[in-house]
Amino acid sequence: MPNHTFTVNGKKVTVDVEDDVRLLWVLRDVLKIHGPKYGCGIGVCRACTCHLNGKAFNPCVTPVKDILPTDEVTTIEGLAPSIGKAIHPMQQAWLDVDVAQCGYCQPGQIMQAVDLVKTVQREKRQVTENDLDQIRNVCRCGTYPRIREAIKKGEAAMPVLQVTKPKKRKAKKKKPVARKPAPSKRKSAVELPQSAE
């Protein structure tokens, strides 16, 4: 089976799995990262929403072969660490509004919300009702009104972005340069020595 190497939540991983297996199953079944949820497997419900290099995507419809060694996948577990915080302002907004009911869809909702705010910030504008109407994430508990409220709160609390996620991570990692011989990498470590990332 082919190897696939990429970064998940700041950690380099290598998995031995067929090219066409969708990333969701690599995350959940192989890497045991369970924050992204299965809700449909065809990119409809968005419960699995994660970020690829800071942009929202659905791992259930993304073959693992599409993920490059330089790619950074962020799941809900890595969202707060990706900005060097214990909790992300959007997660805090979710708590403040008490959005969740069963909670199954919420990791995906939060990842989508962060992406939406970053998108409108890039467009130098604010989240509109129309933006909220376009969110496709399903919540069968019907928390939609509180999701809308939390996104507006989270937007207000999210710093207008100047710092992209990869930059932050690098900045953090640069300090412990000594932490080079990390686990799990065998044969590849020999090749291509590279700047400490």
Partner 1 sequence: MKHSDRPQDGEPRHDAGAPDEAPQDATTSSDEHAPDGKQISRRRMVGYLLAAPTLVAAARFMPAEKAAAEGIPAPNIADLFDLSDVLNAAAAPTYGLLAITIDKQGNANFQLPRSENGQGITTAFTMIIADEMDLPMSRVKVTLMPAEPKLLFNQLTAGSSSVFTLYEPVRRAAAVARTQLMRTAARELGVPARDLTLKDGVFTASHGGSMGFGALTEKAAVKRMIEFQPKLKKAADQKLIGTEQKRVDALDIVMGRKTFTMDLAPAGADPTMICRPPTLNASAKAIQNKAAVLKMPGVTHVLLVPHSDDVQGGVAVVARTFGQCIDAIRALKVTWSKGSIAGRTEQSIKADLAKAELPMTPALGKVIEETFTFNFRSGSALETNCAVADVRKDKAEIWAPLKSPQWAQGKIAELLKLNIESVKVNVMDGGGSFGRRLFCDGAFEAAVISRSIGKPVKLMWHRADDARHGRHHPLTTSKVRITTGGGAVLQYDQRHTAVPTDFTQGLGDYLTAAETRLPLQNFAQFSQTVFYTTANVPYNFGVVTQLLNEIDAFNTFNTSSVRNVYSPDVATATELMVDRVAKEFGRDPMEFRLAFAKDQRMKDVLNAVKKAGNWGRAMAPGTAQGIAMRNEYKGRTACLVEIDCTPATVNRKIRQAVTGPRVTKLVFAIDVGIPINPLGLKAQVMGGAMDGIAQALTYSHHLKNENFVEASWDNSAYTRQWNTPPVVEIIVMPQTTDVAGGAGEAAVGTTMAAVACAYGRAMGKMPTEFPINHNSPLHFEPYPASPPVPEVPADGLERAGIKRPSAKKKRATRKKKRTTARKPAAKTPSKTTKK
* Contacts to partner 1 from residues 96-155, by CB under 8 A: 98, 100-107, 110, 129, 132-148
Amino acid at 35: G
**Interactions with partner 1, residue window 162-181 (CB under 8 A):** 164, 166-167, 170
Residue count of the chain: 197
- The helix/strand/coil state of 41 is coil
Provide Rg for the chain, Cα atoms. Answer: 17
Nearer to partner 1, 159 or 195 (CB): 195
Nearer to partner 1, 5 or 121 (CB): 5
Nearer to partner 1, 6 or 160 (CB): 6
Tell me phi and psi for residue 87, to 5 degrees.
-145, 140
25 counts as binding partner 1 under rule CB under 8 A: yes
* Residue from the set 159, 176, 177, 195 that interacts with partner 1 by CB under 8 A: 195
Q: How far is the CB of 178 from partner 1 (least distance, A)?
A: 14
Q: How far is the CB of 18 from partner 1 (least distance, A)?
A: 5
DSSP 42-99: SSSS-TT-EEETTEEE-GGGSBGGGS-TT-EEE-HHHHHHHTTSSS-HHHHHHHHHT-
What residue has token string 């992204």? 36
* Residue from the set 8, 58, 73, 158 that interacts with partner 1 by CB under 8 A: 58
Nearer to partner 1, 1 or 159 (CB): 1
State how far the Cα of 58 lies from the Cα of 49, in Å rounded to an integer.
5
**Span near partner 1 by CB under 8 A; candidates 46-54, 120-128, 155-163:** 46-54
Q: How far is the CB of 158 from partner 1 (least distance, A)?
A: 15
32 counts as binding partner 1 under rule CB under 8 A: yes
- Give CA 27 to chain center in angstroms: 12
**Span near partner 1 by CB under 8 A; candidates 32-40, 120-128, 155-163:** 32-40
Nearer to partner 1, 77 or 83 (CB): 77
- Both structure tokens of 146: 């509180």
Evaluated on CA atoms 131, 134, 136, 138, the torsion sign reads positive
22 counts as binding partner 1 under rule CB under 8 A: yes
